[in-house]
Amino acid sequence: MRGIKMTTDGIQVVSPAGDPAEGSVRVRVASSGICGSDLHMASFGPSWAILGHEFSGTLDDGTPVAVLPVVHCGTCDRCMAGAEQQCRNALGAMYGVSLDGGLADEAWVDPTCAKRLPDGLSLDHANLVEPVAVALHGINRAGVVSGMRVLVLGAGPIGLCTIAAARHLGADVDLEGHRPSRTAAGERLGANITVGTDYDVVLDAAGTQSSLDRATELARPGGTLSVLGTYWSPVELGMAFQMKELTLLPSFTYGHHHGVGEFTDAARILGEVPELADVMVTHRFGLDDAAEAFRVAGDRDEDPIKVVIHP
Distance between alpha carbon 57 and the CA centroid of its chain, in Å? 17
Q: How far is CA 202 from CA 36, 47, 76, 95, 158, in A?
A: 21, 35, 32, 30, 14
Average pLDDT, integer, range 71-97: 95
Count the Cβ atoms, other than its own, within 10 Å of residue 174. Answer: 20
- The confidence score (pLDDT) of residue 18 equals 79
- The confidence score (pLDDT) of residue 216 equals 98
Task: State yes or no: pLDDT of 239 exceeds 90.
Answer: yes
Task: State yes or no: pLDDT of 36 exceeds 80.
Answer: yes
DSSP 48: S
Burial class (CB in 10 A: 0-12, 13-18, 19+), 48: exposed
- The confidence score (pLDDT) of residue 19 equals 85
Fold (topology level) of 131-250: Rossmann fold (3.40.50)
- Average of per-residue pLDDT values in the chain: 95
Average pLDDT, integer, range 81-109: 96
> 155 forms bridges with which residues in the sheet?
none
Task: Say whether 198 sits in a helix, a strand or coil.
Answer: coil
Give the domain ranges of the chain. 3-116+274-310, 131-250
Task: State yes or no: pLDDT of 259 exceeds 90.
Answer: no
Distance CA(298)–CA(156), nearest Å, equals 12
CATH superfamily of 3-116+274-310: Medium-chain alcohol dehydrogenases, catalytic domain (3.90.180.10)
pLDDT confidence bin for 232, thresholds 50/70/90: confident
Task: State yes or no: pLDDT of 73 exceeds 80.
Answer: yes
Are 3-116+274-310 and 131-250 the same fold in CATH? no
- pTM of the entire predicted model: 0.95
For residue 195, what are the contacts with CB-CB under 8 A and spacing of at least 6? 151, 174, 175, 176, 218
Task: State yes or no: pLDDT of 258 exceeds 90.
Answer: no
